[in-house]
Amino acid sequence: MPKKLAAGNWKMNGLRQALDEVRALHDACPDAACDIVICPPATLIRSMVKVCDDMQIEVGGQDCHENSAGAHTGDISAPMLADTGASYVILGHSERRATYGETDALVRAKTLAAWDSGLTAIVCIGETLEQREAGQTLEVVGRQLQESTPDGASPETLVIAYEPVWAIGTGKTPTLEEIGEVHGFIREALVKRFGPEAQDMRIVYGGSMNPKNARDIAGIANVDGGLVGGASLKASDFYHIVKALDG
Ligand code: 13P
């Protein structure tokens, strides 16, 4: 079984003072058995890398451009993220797919760019409420998985985040059985595509994960961690999720 991953997606939250939360998280669980990565807004990445220098906490970006440099006002490239000391990048989050029209093909191109810079890509997939209600969940997730990820992925370079769009920031989550069904489906698809080593590829769940439900979710087969939004902002909340993933 792969080592579990507790990933925090701070989205567009956090000023410099928020770095104290990372220090507090480290103080609360200095020797966590799971991997921890925090993806703060771009403005905080470099200072967070410095804060985390002697901690077991990695830092990641929330997006990168598919090109390494050029006339792309406001964008950040994968080499730039790597240059800050970041080691992960979230790609294809549903908020970016919805707000900026990011397609599976673009997410795949960004993943290749991330790999070129040695970053581990956390590629997000997940159905809308409409798609779930229409019984299309596995079809949608299967298509996104196939088209958003390049060939040649390995457990070191790719993490899949299953994030049902309707569960993000809503306090609603699928049932444990529903999460298990989708994660099992993703595992099967990964092994078919990338071979037996995909048994070790991490599939993390995201969407209203919190200190109360984390232990139950962490216990589902093929759930190898969490991608946590709101509950990752405060160390006092995220700590409980890290503990739940610690086993
Ligand atoms: P919430 O945990 O706030 O629902 O957000 C989940 C998410 O989108 C993580 O990427």
- For a ligand 1 pocket test, name from 95, 99, 163, 233 the mutation site with the most ligand atoms within 8 angstroms of its C-beta: 163
**HEC readout, 105-163:** HHHHHHHHHHHHCCCEEEEEECCCHHHHHCCCHHHHHHHHHHHHCCCCCCCCCEEEEEC
pLDDT at site 1: 86
The answer, yes or no, to whether residue 247 has pLDDT greater than 80, is no
Rounded Cα distance between 35 and 32, Å, is 7
Rounded Cα distance between 110 and 97, Å, is 13
Assess contact for 124 and 95: CB atoms under 8 A.
Answer: no
Assess contact for 186 and 216: CB atoms under 8 A.
Answer: no
Q: Give the Å distance between the CA of 194 and the centre of ligand 1.
A: 27
Q: Render pLDDT for 86-142 as a digit per residue (tens, 0 to 9).
A: 999 999 999 999 999 999 999 999 999 999 999 999 999 999 999 999 999 999 999
Tell me the CA distances in angstroms from 173 to 44, 50, 62, 144, 170, one per residue in order.
Answer: 30, 35, 22, 20, 8
> 125 in ligand 1 pocket by Cβ < 6 Å?
no
In this structure, which residue's CA is closest to atom 5 in ligand 1? 229
Q: Render pLDDT for 185-229 as a digit per residue (tens, 0 to 9).
A: 999 999 999 999 999 999 999 999 999 999 999 999 999 999 999
Provide the domain limits for residue 208. Answer: 5-246
Residues in CB range of 131: below 8 A, 6 or more apart? 137, 140
Count: domains in the chain: 1
Q: Is 10 exposed, middle or buried (0-12, 13-18, 19+ CB in 10 A)?
A: buried
How many residues are listed for the chain in this entry?
Answer: 247
Nearest to 228 by CA among 202, 203, 246, 205: 205
> 229 in ligand 1 pocket by Cβ < 6 Å?
yes
> 163 in ligand 1 pocket by Cβ < 6 Å?
yes
% the chain with pLDDT above 70? 100
Assess contact for 185 and 221: CB atoms under 8 A.
Answer: no
Give the CATH number, domain containing residue 211: 3.20.20.70
The answer, yes or no, to whether residue 70 has pLDDT greater than 80, is yes
The residue written with tokens 């069904």 in the block is 181
Tell me the residue type at 146.
Answer: Q
Q: Render pLDDT for 173-185 as a digit per residue (tens, 0 to 9).
A: 999 999 999 999 9
Per-residue confidence band for 236, with pLDDT thresholds at 50, 70 and 90? very high
